Amino acid sequence: MYEGSMAMTATEPTPTPPAPPVPLTALLARRDLGLRLLAGPEDVPIHWVHTSEMADPYPYLLGGELLMTAGVLLADPAHYVARVVEAGAAALAFGVTPVYDTVPAELVEACARHGLPLVEVPPRTPFTAVARALWRLMAEARLHELRRVTEAQQSLAAAAARPAPVPAVLGALASRLGGRAALFAADGTESAAAGREVPAEAARALRDLVGVLGPRPGGPASASGDGGGLRLAAYALGGGDGLTLGVATERRGPGDHTVAGVAVVLLSLLTAPHRGADAAVRDGALVRLLLGAAPPEIAETLGAGPWTVVHAAGGDGTPFAAASLAAALGTPLVDAGEAGGGTGRADAVEAGGGRRDGTPVTVRLLLPASTPVTEQPGWTLGIAAPAAADELAAADAQAARALRRAEAVRAPLVRHRPGGLAALVDPDEAAAHARALLGPLTEPLGETLRTWLSLHGSWDRTAVALEVHRNTVRQRIARCAALLDRDLDDPDVRMELWFALGSR
């Protein structure tokens, strides 16, 4: 009835891309394409387009695609359709001309028998036009999903700042997902809920699903299933007291998992035990950060500090792994986004929550400077120097650079190192010299040069740090040498450029 996912463990990449699929009906509705459905259902989801003229395309299909062919090697339509269905293709599109004047009747019959949608592509429509239309529809669907998730994040964050935050967050989550959201205690009893009532069968199934998680250390962080005609999901909170969030909805749409992940982190924060008055005040300040307040605006409320900003990359691509990392470091406050991302803000509340293809996320944490930060299994950490509340933006940049260096040198943890001899130079004079010296460099040349110098001229490690090909690094460095008219093999030149990049 359910399927669980373990926190802090790697997940296999999904066989379909992270962008939402497009229903075949959307392609059929494009009048400029002139597509016509000849057999099979029209409401199947399409994940991508693949063109093949192989007699047996089975080895080249991943499943979920719209397979397009002109039938160049179509000898046995019945066998061909059986192999396409076995490979998991979503639909078959047959191009009329240059081989056939009409779609073969045997092909139509075979598709109807197997329930495989068969689409006729008219002579005036090239296959590339169909593929381009699908990518555009997928981009529109992805944009719609991102907007929906962003609006949900803002709604949940605003609810967390209300006088009764737990019921408000549950209500906002139920409203956004169009169902019911409930908080379950460790013994399985429902302690708070919001949204419309669900059938008794669905309520029992949700309690059973919640029981799958339980308070066991290292147990599943989430589980999903069906019951009473509804889609069910359960998420363990990170407060360590056995609380679980249960959700029941009529359907499960793109982005729902991410929205639920935001609610999980906020509810973990709000229900964490033994939180004193100081922690409550800090939580309020951090919620204001999530809502867009600049660090100087909340410095008085947050406290002078000092604070430590930590960037971490890793996990299994879910917000629940990020919450587990935060709990291991002694705080439920997390900001997660795509690897290499960042908003330039030292937020401390979940703001993104993982990617569906299982790739790592970058997590940012805000901790009191007195909190020890140690290596964490499965994560790479970059740690800023202790900073006051009004210096969080600078500390955020320090942590980001430290993380990039840790990834480049394959170290589990790297701390920001304050300047040594460079600190003896007048900052204004150094900045003026740096502007003049580095003026010809535009991005990404400047960042490439900085990373290359920091890694002692290693092409491979620089490529890893910047997530580009090593040949791209070589081309950029050669361009830097030409624009600066300097010999980058000269150690004195490298040293001067290094200090200039730091001063800029």
- What pLDDT sits at residue 405? 83
193, pLDDT greater than 60:
yes
Please give the average per-residue pLDDT across 437-462, as a whole number.
88
Q: Which helix (H) or strand (E) covers residue 248, if one does? A: strand 244-249
Q: Which helix (H) or strand (E) covers residue 23, if one does? A: strand 22-23
- CA proximity to 160, closest of 258, 322, 301, 284: 284
From CA 136, how far away is CA 140, in angstroms rounded?
A: 6
- What pLDDT sits at residue 219? 56
Instruction: Please state which CATH number belongs to domain 22-135.
Output: 3.40.1390.20
- Of residues 292 and 125, the one with the higher pLDDT is 125
116, pLDDT greater than 90:
yes
Report the range of poorest mean pLDDT among 39-53, 57-71, 331-345.
331-345
From CA 169, how far away is CA 166, in angstroms rounded?
A: 5
> Mind listing the pLDDT tens digit for each residue in 290-328?
555 665 666 666 666 688 888 888 865 555 566 667 666
The reply to whether omega before 98 is within 30° of 0 (cis) is: yes
- Of residues 216 and 81, the one with the higher pLDDT is 81
357, pLDDT greater than 60:
no
> Mind listing the pLDDT tens digit for each residue in 221-241?
778 888 888 888 888 886 556
167, pLDDT greater than 70:
yes
- What pLDDT sits at residue 126? 93
- What pLDDT sits at residue 300? 62
338, pLDDT greater than 70:
no
> Mind listing the pLDDT tens digit for each residue in 53-108?
999 999 888 888 999 999 999 999 999 999 999 999 999 999 998 889 999 999 99
- What pLDDT sits at residue 67? 95
27-36 b/e with 16+ CB inside 10 Å = b? bbebeebebe
CA dihedral 245, 250, 255, 258 (to 10 degrees): 0
- CA proximity to 339, closest of 293, 287, 309, 379: 379
278, pLDDT greater than 60:
no
Percentage of residues in the chain having pLDDT higher than 90: 21
Phi-psi region of 159 (alpha: psi -120 to 50; beta: other; left: phi over 0): alpha
Please give the average per-residue pLDDT across 111-127, as a whole number.
94
- What pLDDT sits at residue 15? 45
Please give the average per-residue pLDDT across 129-133, as a whole number.
93
351, pLDDT greater than 90:
no
* C-alpha distances in Å from residue 483, one per residue of 446, 452, 478, 480, 488: 11, 16, 9, 5, 12
From CA 487, how far away is CA 72, in angstroms rounded?
A: 58
User: Chain-wide mean pLDDT for the chain?
Assistant: 78
Give residue 14's pLDDT band: very low, low, confident or very high (50, 70, 90).
very low
DSSP reduced 3-state for 387: strand
What is the number of alpha carbons within 13 Å of residue 501 lying toward its C-beta?
20
143, pLDDT greater than 70:
yes
- The structure tokens listed for 393 are 């933006």
118, pLDDT greater than 90:
yes
145: Cβ contacts below 8 Å, ≥ 6 apart: 20, 254, 255
From CA 263, how far away is CA 167, in angstroms rounded?
A: 11
Percentage of residues in the chain having pLDDT higher than 70: 76
92-126 b/e with 16+ CB inside 10 Å = b? bbbbbeeeeeebeeebbebbeebebbbbbbeeebe
From CA 238, how far away is CA 268, in angstroms rounded?
A: 5
Superfamily of domain 421-503: PucR C-terminal helix-turn-helix domain (1.10.10.2840)
- The structure tokens listed for 109 are 């019959």
- Domain 162-273, CATH number (from 3.40.190.10, 3.30.450.30, 3.10.20.30, 3.50.30.30): 3.30.450.30
Report the range of poorest mean pLDDT among 51-55, 179-183, 332-336, 344-348.
344-348
- Specify the residue for token string 């192999």: 83
- Specify the residue for token string 């078959």: 92
- The structure tokens listed for 209 are 């699903």
20 contacts 141 by C-beta, under 8 angstroms: yes
448, pLDDT greater than 70:
yes
Please give the average per-residue pLDDT across 115-129, as a whole number.
94
Report the range of poorest mean pLDDT among 29-33, 418-422, 499-503.
418-422
From CA 335, how far away is CA 275, in angstroms rounded?
A: 20
Report the range of poorest mean pLDDT among 48-62, 203-217, 267-281, 348-362.
348-362
Tell me the whole-structure pTM to 2 decimals.
Answer: 0.50
* C-alpha distances in Å from residue 178, one per residue of 253, 256, 352: 10, 10, 20
- What pLDDT sits at residue 41? 93
From CA 294, how far away is CA 334, in angstroms rounded?
A: 17
- Of residues 153 and 101, the one with the higher pLDDT is 101
6, pLDDT greater than 50:
no
- Of residues 19 and 344, the one with the higher pLDDT is 19
Give residue 283's pLDDT band: very low, low, confident or very high (50, 70, 90).
low
Are the folds of 162-273 and 421-503 the same?
Answer: no
422-431 b/e with 16+ CB inside 10 Å = b? eeeeeeeebe
- What pLDDT sits at residue 342? 36
Domain ranges of the chain: 22-135, 162-273, 277-418, 421-503
> Mind listing the pLDDT tens digit for each residue in 483-504?
888 888 888 888 888 888 877 7
Give residue 37's pLDDT band: very low, low, confident or very high (50, 70, 90).
very high
250, pLDDT greater than 70:
yes
> Mind listing the pLDDT tens digit for each residue in 456-467?
888 988 988 888
From CA 220, how far away is CA 5, in angstroms rounded?
A: 6
